[in-house]
Amino acid sequence: MTPFLSEFIGTAFLMLLGSGVVANVVLNKTKGNNSGWIVITFGWAIAVFVGVYIAAAKSGAHLNPAVTIALAVAGKFDWVNAPLYFAAQLTGAMAGSFLTWVAYKKHFDETADANAILAIFCTGPAIKNPLFNVATEAIGTFTLILGVLFITGADIKLGALDALPVALLVLGIGLSLGGPTGYAINPARDLGPRIVHFILPIKNKRDSDWGYSWVPIVGPVIGAVIAALVFKAVQ
C-alpha cells in the first residue's frame, strides 16, 4: 500500500466512523438518536484509533493536514511530499463522508433540521465570533499536535501502538475543548465533507456555510505551526 493510499483509506475510515456517529445521534429515527455529546466524542475517538491503526505502517498516519504541516515545520517530513498527503487526506475525508450519507440515506430523508444535517459533514460554532472561533481551533489543534509529538517521541512518526493514546487525546480534546466550535482540529476533516454536503442531493439541506469554512482551516494551521515550534524549542 502506497503512502497516498494509506492516508486515503485511513482518513476515509476516520470520517466514516466520525461522521457516522454524528449521524447516528442527530438524524431522526436512528437507534442512537439524541444520545448526546459523550457518544459523539467517544465515536470520534474510536474513529481516530481505527484510522491511525490502519495507516500507521505505510504513511505514518497523519490523516490531517495540520499534522503534516507540523511535522514539516519540525523538520521531520519533507515539504515536497506534503501536497500528496493533503490530496489523500482531502479525498479520503470526502469518501468517508459520502459513505456515511449512503449508510444513513433513509434517515437523512426523515430529518428536516438543516443545521443538524450540515453538522454531520462539517463543524460550526456554538457562538459565532471569527476571532475566538479561530482561537478555539488553534488551541485545540495545538493540544493535539503537541500531544502527538510527545507521544511519538524523537522519531515523530505515528505507529500502530500510538493509535490508542492518540485516540484518548482526541477524546480529551472533544470533551474539554469541543464545545465552542465542534473541534474540527483537522482542515481536511472539515473541508472535504463540506464539499460533499454541497454536492450531494440531500433532502432539506441548507447552504454549506462557506462563510465559516476558513475558520477550521486557518485555526488548525496556526495551532499546528505553534505546536511544532514549541516542540522544537524544548528538545
Rounded CA-CA distance 88/81 in Å is: 11
Residue 117's pLDDT is: 98
* Residue 235, domain member (yes or no): no
Average pLDDT, the chain: 96
* Residue 205, domain member (yes or no): yes
* Residue 125, domain member (yes or no): yes
- Give the domain CATH number at 36: 1.20.1080.10
* Residue 233, domain member (yes or no): no
* Residue 29, domain member (yes or no): yes
* Residue 195, domain member (yes or no): yes
Domain count, the chain: 1
For residue 210, pLDDT over 90 is answered with yes
Domain carrying residue 92:
3-227
For residue 157, pLDDT over 70 is answered with no
* Residue 232, domain member (yes or no): no
* Residue 81, domain member (yes or no): yes
186: left (phi over 0), alpha (psi -120 to 50) or beta: beta
* Predicted confidence (pLDDT) per residue in 66-93, tens digit: 999 999 999 999 999 999 999 999 999 9
Distances 137 to 61, 102, 181, 186 between C-alpha atoms, Å: 21, 29, 7, 9
Q: What is the pTM of this model?
A: 0.96
Residue 134's pLDDT is: 98
* Predicted confidence (pLDDT) per residue in 7-27, tens digit: 999 999 999 999 999 999 999
